[in-house]
C-alpha cells in the first residue's frame, strides 16, 4: 500500500490521535473510539484494563495512569503499518505502530519503555486495541526519540 494514499494517511492520523488521547486530550475519545471497546493489554507491572468496554472507561484509565505516573508522555515512533479499506462511511481494518512512554519514578528518575499498539478500526473508529509493552524494566525500541 503506498504510504501517501488516503487510507494510509487516515490510519497514521488516527494513531496520532490515539496517542494524543493517552496524553490527556480526553475530548478525542468521543471522536475516535467506537461506542463498545475491547482492550487487550499485555504489559508487565501495570493495571488490568480488560474491564474497560466503553469510551468513558478508557478515559478513566488514562486519567488514572497520569495520576499515578509523574510527567508521563506517550509518543508514536517508527512507521505505522496500515491495512485499511474504504467502507461506506470511512475506513475499516487495522493500524499498528510502535510507541514509547516515559515517566518519572521517585528515586529512580525518568524511565522509558516501548511497545506496540494494534488498533482495530471499524467505520473510522477504534473498536479494539491489542497492546504489548516491555514494561518499565524493558527495552525501548527507539531510544533516540525519547528524552
pLDDT tens digits, one per residue of 29-41 = 999 999 999 999 8
pLDDT tens digits, one per residue of 53-111 = 999 999 999 999 899 888 999 999 989 999 999 988 899 999 999 999 888 888 878 88
Q: Look up residue 26 and give its DSSP letter.
A: G
Structural element, H or E, at residue 14? helix 6-22
Give the C-alpha separation, 37 to 51, whole Å.
10
pLDDT band at 145 (very low <50, low <70, confident <90, very high): very low
Stated pTM of the model = 0.87
pLDDT at 118: 97
In this structure, what C-alpha cell is assigned to residue 65? 495512569
User: How crowded is the C-beta side of 75, counted as CA atoms within 13 Å?
Assistant: 18
Tell me the percentage of the chain whose pLDDT exceeds 90: 59
Instruction: Give Cβ neighbours of residue 64 (< 8 Å, ≥ 6 apart).
Output: 47
Q: Is 85 exposed, middle or buried (0-12, 13-18, 19+ CB in 10 A)?
A: exposed
pLDDT at 44: 66
pLDDT at 48: 74
Amino acid at each position: 500500500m503506498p504510504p501517501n494514499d488516503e487510507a494510509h494517511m487516515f490510519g497514521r492520523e488516527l494513531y496520532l490521535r490515539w496517542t494524543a488521547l493517552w496524553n490527556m486530550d480526553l475530548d478525542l475519545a468521543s471522536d475516535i473510539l467506537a461506542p463498545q471497546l475491547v482492550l487487550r493489554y499485555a504489559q508487565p507491572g501495570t493495571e488490568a484494563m480488560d474491564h474497560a468496554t466503553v469510551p468513558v472507561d478508557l478515559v478513566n484509565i488514562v486519567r488514572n495512569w497520569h495520576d499515578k505516573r509523574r510527567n508521563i508522555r506517550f509518543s508514536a515512533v517508527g512507521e505505522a503499518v496500515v491495512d485499511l479499506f474504504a467502507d461506506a462511511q470511512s475506513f475499516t481494518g487495522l493500524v499498528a505502530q510502535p510507541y514509547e512512554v516515559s515517566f518519572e519514578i521517585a528515586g529512580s528518575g525518568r524511565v522509558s519503555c516501548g511497545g506496540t499498539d494494534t488498533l482495530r478500526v471499524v467505520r473510522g473508529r477504534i473498536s479494539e486495541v491489542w497492546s504489548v509493552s516491555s514494561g518499565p524494566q524493558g527495552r525501548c525500541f527507539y531510544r533516540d526519540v525519547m528524552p
